[in-house]
Amino acid sequence: MHLSTRDRLRLIAAAAASLAVPNTHAAPTEKYPRNLTKEDIDRWMTELSNWGRWGKDDQAGTVNLITNAKRKQAAALVKEGISVSMSLDADIAPKGYVAPPPPPPPEPGAAPGRGRGQMPRYTWEHVMRSTGQNMRAPSGYAVDTIMVNFHGNNTTHFDALSHFIFNGKIFNGFPASEITTWGAEKDDVMPFKDGLVTRGVLIDWPRFKNVPYMGDDEAIYAEDLADWEQKTKVKIESGDCVLLRTGRWQRVKDKGPLDLNRLAPGLYASAGRWLKDRDIALLGSDVVQDVRPSRVEGVNQPIHQMFLNAVGTPLFDNCDLDAAAEQAAKLKRSTFCMMVAPLRVPGATGSPFNPLALF
């Protein structure tokens, strides 16, 4: 077969292309890739941004999507009148607990140890100021003080939009300097002081996959969420609160604590883009939403980063979704009326809270 010079050049170019090193960056035409880089996430911080969508002074973000009609839709889901808490009990020391003394300082030249990190670290403190055992009269009041360091992995809490600073900004472009020693003067919890009522959508992944719980670093991708929608016939809609159950608490019962700072099942970053495309209002889980490690080199928690800072979606961490999942399975439904009421603390970057599912 005789080939022209032009045809020979085309064959050489095709052969060279077949031997080329694969591109490790997300292809521009691939909407939900599995090979995201830090550069991709940086670009998405602009592409997915809701800054200015509801005005330059907006501090409520995607909660604006919870309209009066959405609240009425949610209220109509209450059929049986059953209320289920989706919060952990407060992480307080057990009765009779006495804190051990701190360890002695290390010897000079000794390798650094974990020190106090080895001791129990309770995030709540409950102190009785007046009890039934120390009253001066037979009638009076019992009085106590409650303190909490709620951000972290042990308390069910609400992340407000001031919780994540990216490149010196918080949601809607407010400068990070708005967060002072007094608190967050922009994007605090106060835009949500009247509470949030919307449709809750529970993605019970272990039940969907017929396993007791997800793997310790198992990721859920965009196509997994699409598969869940198709098979459950539940369409995630604008203004919804999406709750992902990984089975964390069953895993803890079976195997012991899971260090979420090192390993956690959860959403891969492109699944976050998929949810953003659905225009959800709220996102929560029994972990911290992000799969860890994130699988995006140089970005620790891309879901937290994108939703709190760019998209403007409050997040719910460390929920206990097991009882709600049991009720949902019993009733053969994945949706319910969701009620959320963070504490009214001006300047707070979040709040401990007790989310409720009403069936």
Would you state the pLDDT for residue 121?
74
Contact 216, 255 (CB under 8 A): no
| Proportion of the chain above pLDDT 90, given as a percent | 81
Mean pLDDT across 10-32: 50
**188 lies in some domain:** yes
Q: pLDDT tens for residues 160-195?
A: 999 999 999 999 999 999 999 999 999 999 999 999
Same domain? For 192 and 328 the reply is yes
Would you state the pLDDT for residue 109?
65
Same domain? For 175 and 323 the reply is yes
| Number of domains the chain contains | 2
Strand partners, 204: 245
Same domain? For 203 and 323 the reply is yes
Measured in whole angstroms, the distance separating CA 354 from the mean position of its chain's CA atoms is 15
**Residue 17 burial (10 A CB sphere; 0-12, 13-18, 19+):** exposed
Numbers of helices and strands, H then E, in the chain: 9, 13
Distance CA 336, CA 168 (A): 38
Asked whether residue 118 carries a pLDDT value surpassing 90, the answer given is: no
Same domain? For 143 and 212 the reply is no
pLDDT range class, residue 25, cuts 50, 70, 90: very low
Half-sphere exposure of 221 (CA within 13 A, CB side): 8
Q: pLDDT tens for residues 340-358?
A: 999 999 999 999 999 999 9
Asked whether residue 71 carries a pLDDT value surpassing 60, the answer given is: yes
Distance CA 129, CA 52 (A): 48
Q: pLDDT tens for residues 210-251?
A: 999 999 999 999 999 999 999 999 999 999 999 999 999 999
Strand partners, 350: 159
**97 lies in some domain:** no
Helix (H) or strand (E) holding 267, with range, is strand 266-267
**116 lies in some domain:** no
**142 lies in some domain:** yes
Mean pLDDT across 88-92: 94
Same domain? For 78 and 161 the reply is yes
**232 lies in some domain:** yes
Mean pLDDT across 1-15: 49
Would you state the pLDDT for residue 134?
86
- CA neighbor of 352 nearest in space, from 171, 198, 165, 124: 124
End-to-end alpha-carbon separation of the chain, Å?
Answer: 74
The pTM assigned to this predicted structure is: 0.86
Range of the domain at 140: 122-148
Same domain? For 80 and 213 the reply is yes
**297 lies in some domain:** yes
Distance CA 222, CA 276 (A): 11
Asked whether residue 20 carries a pLDDT value surpassing 80, the answer given is: no
Would you state the pLDDT for residue 21?
38
Average pLDDT, the chain: 90
Distance CA 199, CA 275 (A): 15
pLDDT range class, residue 15, cuts 50, 70, 90: very low
Distance CA 131, CA 81 (A): 37
Sequence-ordered strand ranges (E) for the chain: 83-85, 124-130, 143-148, 157-159, 196-204, 219-220, 241-245, 266-267, 282-285, 315-317, 335-340, 350-352, 356-358
| Residue 168's CATH number | 3.50.30
Judge if the upstream peptide bond of residue 293 is cis by omega within 30 degrees of 0: yes
- In sequence order, the 6+-apart residues with CB closer than 8 A to the CB of 304 are 159, 164, 288, 289, 290, 315
Same domain? For 170 and 316 the reply is yes
Same domain? For 165 and 43 the reply is yes
- CA neighbor of 174 nearest in space, from 314, 165, 63, 46: 165
